[in-house]
A and B are shown apart, each in its own frame.
Chain A
Amino acid sequence: MKTMLSAFAVAILIAFAAQYTFDALPFSSAERQSAENVRLD
């Protein structure tokens, strides 16, 4: 029971860590993929 609950708690912790990591990344994937003027090809 204790092991199970601590695993669930760690899952939630990992989720928050992931959220903050992605927020803190110095670039955004959408920005990286965009361009001022895009040639269609």
Chain B
Amino acid sequence: MIRALLLLFTLAFAVPAAAQDSDFVPAGTQTVEDIMARQRALADGDESVRAVRDRQGGPDEAVADGIGLTADGTMGQTNDWSDPGIWRGVRYDDLDMRSQIRGPAATTLIQTGGMEWLERRAGPLRVWGGGLLFFTLVALGIFFLLRGRIRIDGPRTGRTLVRFRVYERFAHWLLAGSFLALAVTGLLVLFGRIAIIPIFGHEVWGPVAIVTKWVHNNISWAFMLALVMVFVLWVLQNIPDRSDWQWLKRAGGIFGGGHVPAKKFNAGQKAIFWAVIILGASLSVSGLSLLFPFEMPLFASTFTHLNDWGIGGLFGGLPTDLAPQEEMQLSQLWHGIVAFVMIAIIFAHIYLGSIGMEGAYDAMGKGRVEEQWAREHHSIWADKVMAERDDPRRKQTGSPDANPTPAE
């Protein structure tokens, strides 16, 4: 028995070794020295050697060159040497072959985008994304030190105005709660490996990763729902108009002092609104494409449009023939980039909505704001609401929202 096993063991090595002993070298076959020379040139930054693959072409050229053919002139499994023609055909997708591999995207056996994606995700995405968040926090800290909390300048009136109804606040907090959960878990997905494992070890990261993934995948629906709600509720009040131009010219009064007239939302808030809607929608779409792998390829068609419009030309022409895996890689990178930009913007928003401005939080916390705050920051809106409130005809109908109520 042991003898038989030993024999089998020896044979297992002997057969491939014998296979490589063949001294028939077909014309044009690369030698190890050819490959090493290419590697050295690549290491020295000479990209021109990559063109070698184009010169060698696909299986047709391989047939013409006699590369990778068996003795009977076919590209079968009976040959006894390595098969560059077959692998090239597999790589460039131009072979008539069948595979026993099943499952999604099984028809791509080789694609070379994986390593690039891995390196971009582990390199620039982490470095630039993390850097963006870090410097946003530093900038907000510096702003706070220089400008301090934006106070209500005038004396408080003790009266409040309704700013957001309960369903508006509900939509906002659904959006905010889900976004923050997604931001924290998203950052964990990207940084967990390098931030958690070295400090707490694999045993800790394991369960954290499971929860992280569950939260990130499933909370996304609340975010998408809230995004639609917020859009529907606030879009009309966020259409840019002439008052925004005045506000922008004076940078919202941040530096010059004084207050700039504004409607319900000033130009800065409108910018936040549209950033949230557009970036949020893009995050949702790329997120869905990641959630349902290979079902929603986005980039080949997007790149085709960009190329048609001439925008792709700025990047030297964008690739439109993408393997399913490359579609997923691009979705992941795009999802990450947009998420970082949006988180940075939301940092600024949270700052202004809480410690950055006295009286602002009440708008979302209680739904009512101090009348003096409204006069200073949203004077056009405040005048309108107060005029409605003080309108004697309205008073008779007794609308509860328009009535003055003491501040809590």
A residues near B, CB below 8 A? 1, 3-4, 6-8, 10-12, 14-19, 29-30, 33-41
Once bound together, how far apart are the Cα atoms of A29 and B289, in whole Å? 12
Mask, B105-133, CB within 8 Å of A = 1, is: 11101000000000000000000000000
Complex alpha-carbon distance, A38 and B99, angstroms: 5
Give me the 9 closest cross-chain CB pairs, A-B, nearest first.
A7-B173, A15-B218, A11-B222, A33-B104, A7-B174, A14-B222, A4-B173, A8-B177, A34-B102
Interface residues of A, dominant DSSP? helix
A28 CB to nearest B CB, Å: 10
Least CB distance from A6 to B in Å reads 7
Contacting pair B294 A33 (CB below 8 A): yes
Question: Which chain B positions have C-beta within 8 A of A15?
Answer: 214-215, 218-219, 221-222
Residue numbers of B with Cβ under 8 A of A are 90, 93, 95-107, 109, 166, 169-174, 176-178, 181, 214-215, 217-222, 225-226, 292-295, 364-365, 367
Contact A18 B218 (CB under 8 A): yes
- Bound-state Cα–Cα, A24 to B184, Å: 28
Contacts of A29 on B, CB cut-off 8 Å?
104, 292-293, 295
Q: Which residues of A contact B174 (CB under 8 A)?
A: 7-8, 10-11
Does the CB pair B97–A40 fall under 8 Å? yes
A3-B166, A15-B221, A19-B218 known; A41+B104 contact, CB < 8 A: no
- Which chain B residue lies CB-closest to A8? B177
Contact B365 A1, beta carbon cutoff 8 Å? yes
Across the interface, name the chain B residue whose C-beta is closest to A6: B170
**Chain A residue with Cβ nearest B295:** A29
